[in-house]
């Protein structure tokens, strides 16, 4: 074969190889772009649905604190003031703003403009200062969920009245409130300071947030020291035999076990056998610690293994014992990787739902937990509960809770990067 024919065959082969390489790069770029499109669509949907939850509609009412309604005994004692009918006062205050509200039925209808919390807010004001009885005060109260949705543009007034949750009269009353400058929106602090509620305008994530915090504290206090100690022993001190090989295989297998299995284990051991309180963050933390422990062990072993053997040899050559070598040289150098793996494991535990569902943390909890032994729920479970609610107002709160959860996860991953840079050493 001549040199010319050989060169032609080589050029033809090179063209095919270059064409395959270009196609491979195009496929990879297309895959990245498709992933980015889905990611952007996901975040855009979450943000568009949830950003409105960070603002809440409020109504300013000129309330006349009637002594006959709020102080039935007439002695201004706390018992008498707590037994007052503050709902009537709120409805009467609303009725005075509109000329077409006259009958008792109309007053009940106009009462639907404000949240059920309005009467409690008025009661707290009166209990704090009984001298308000007989006076007219300006009271800011949250609007009901339906009115809040109307103000935010989530209710179409052009639809037939039977197809929307707000009546024509209520829309007219809202327009009158706008003309009187008595309705406005502000930052929704209730979302961050309240616990769960059946009323969407009152529902908050603080109870679920504190439950997640307590669970993570229990998880990290158990999984981190036990996981690091196990990794150090297996990597530096354990003899190489069939038993350590069996332990390593089981640790790797446990890291792949579905999370709901850990939930069943926690239900059987911690609740049924040990009789720990149901729906408590302590139990949730114990279950998540068991689930996170294999991840921490694997990450810690990988970090310890990445330390160069020359570090160990130099320390041993200078007369250090094996324990001194491990805890004064190897572990400090492996600490960035250990912390990174631990925080990533904690982030995974934060987003788990199945284990905490199995131990009863799906209950409707209104009160804010004051410790790991009190009933609570978690942020992922709160998202699950709100997503299952039919009210339109819970849709935006579901997305808002997801935004907070993603922000929490972002902070944890940022902490992992910062800790890695802080403790990282070069050798």
The conformation of residue 35, written as its DSSP 8-state character, comes to H
Task: Count CA within 13 A, CB hemisphere, residue 418.
Answer: 6
pLDDT tens column, 140-155: 999 988 888 888 888 8
Displacement of CA 277 from its chain's centroid (Å): 23
pTM for the full predicted model: 0.85
Domain 206-423 falls in which CATH fold?
Answer: MetI-like fold (1.10.3720)
Q: Which DSSP letter does residue 15 get?
A: H
Q: Name the residue ranges covered by the structural domains of the chain.
A: 55-187, 206-423
Sign of CA dihedral 173, 178, 180, 181: positive
Q: Nearest CA to 350 among 300, 312, 407, 307?
A: 407
Q: What is the pLDDT of residues 352-374, one digit of tens each?
A: 888 888 888 887 888 888 888 88
**Residue among 116, 117, 106, 119 nearest 172 (CA):** 106
CA distance 23 to 18: 9
Between the alpha carbon of residue 399 and those of residues 52, 301, 365, 367, the distances in Å are: 10, 38, 20, 22
Question: DSSP per residue over 174-215, as a string?
Answer: HHHHHHTT-EEEEE-THHHH----SSGGG--SHHHHHHHHHH
How would you write the pLDDT of the chain (427 residues) with one tens digit per residue?
A: 566 666 666 666 777 888 888 888 999 999 999 999 998 998 888 888 888 889 999 999 898 888 888 888 888 888 888 888 888 888 888 888 887 777 777 778 888 888 888 888 889 988 888 888 888 889 899 998 888 888 888 888 888 888 888 888 888 888 888 888 999 899 999 889 888 888 888 889 999 999 999 999 999 999 999 999 999 998 888 888 888 888 888 888 888 888 888 888 888 888 888 888 888 899 999 999 999 999 999 999 988 888 888 888 888 888 888 888 888 888 888 888 888 888 888 888 888 888 888 888 887 888 888 888 888 888 898 998 888 887 878 888 999 999 998 888 888 888 777 877 777 666 5
Consecutive H or E run containing 295: helix 281-305
pLDDT score for 10? 64
The pLDDT mean for the chain works out to: 86
Give me the pLDDT at residue 35, please: 92
Residues 242-293 have pLDDT tens digits of: 888 888 888 888 888 888 888 888 888 888 888 888 888 999 999 999 999 9
Q: How far apart are CA 338 and CA 227, in angstroms?
A: 10
Q: How far apart are CA 186 and CA 404, in angstroms?
A: 19
């Amino acid at each position: 074969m001549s040199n010319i024919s050989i060169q032609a065959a080589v050029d033809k082969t090179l063209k095919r190889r270059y064409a395959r390489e270009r196609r491979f790069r195009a496929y990879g770029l297309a895959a990245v772009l498709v992933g980015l499109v889905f990611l952007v669509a996901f975040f855009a949907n979450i943000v568009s649905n949830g950003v409105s939850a960070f603002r809440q509609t409020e109504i300013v009412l000129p309330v006349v604190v009637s002594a006959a309604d709020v102080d039935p005994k007439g002695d201004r004692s706390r018992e008498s003031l707590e037994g007052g009918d503050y709902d009537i006062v709120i409805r009467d205050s609303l009725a005075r703003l509109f000329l077409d509200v006259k009958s008792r039925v109309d007053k009940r209808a106009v009462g639907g403009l404000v949240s059920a919390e309005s009467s409690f807010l008025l009661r707290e004001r009166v209990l704090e200062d009984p001298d308000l009885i007989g006076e007219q005060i300006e009271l800011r109260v949250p609007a009901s969920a339906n009115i809040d949705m109307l103000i935010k543009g989530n209710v179409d007034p052009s639809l037939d009245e039977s197809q929307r949750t707000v009546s024509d009269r209520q829309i007219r009353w809202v327009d009158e409130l706008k003309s009187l400058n008595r309705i406005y929106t502000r930052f929704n602090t209730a979302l961050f300071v309240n616990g769960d509620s059946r009323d969407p305008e009152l529902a908050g994530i603080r109870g679920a947030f504190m439950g997640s915090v307590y669970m993570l504290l229990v998880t990290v206090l158990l999984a981190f020291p036990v996981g690091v100690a196990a990794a150090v022993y297996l990597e530096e001190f354990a003899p190489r035999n069939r038993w350590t090989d069996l332990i390593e295989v089981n640790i790797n297998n446990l890291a792949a076990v579905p999370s709901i299995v850990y939930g069943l284990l926690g239900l059987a051991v911690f609740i049924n056998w040990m009789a720990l309180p149901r729906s408590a963050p302590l139990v949730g933390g114990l279950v998540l610690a068991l689930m996170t422990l294999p991840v921490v062990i694997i990450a810690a072993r990988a970090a310890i293994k990445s330390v160069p053997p020359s570090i160990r040899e130099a320390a041993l050559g200078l007369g250090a014992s094996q324990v001194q070598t491990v805890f004064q040289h190897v572990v400090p150098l492996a600490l960035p990787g250990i912390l990174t793996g631990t925080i990533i494991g904690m982030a995974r535990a934060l987003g788990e739902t199945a284990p905490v569902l199995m131990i009863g943390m799906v209950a409707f909890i209104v009160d804010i937990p004051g410790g790991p032994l009190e009933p609570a729920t978690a942020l992922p479970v709160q998202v699950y509960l709100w997503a299952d609610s039919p009210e339109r107002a819970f849709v935006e709160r579901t997305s808002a809770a997801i935004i907070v959860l993603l922000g929490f996860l972002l902070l944890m991953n940022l902490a992992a990067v910062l800790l890695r840079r802080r403790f990282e050493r070069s050798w």
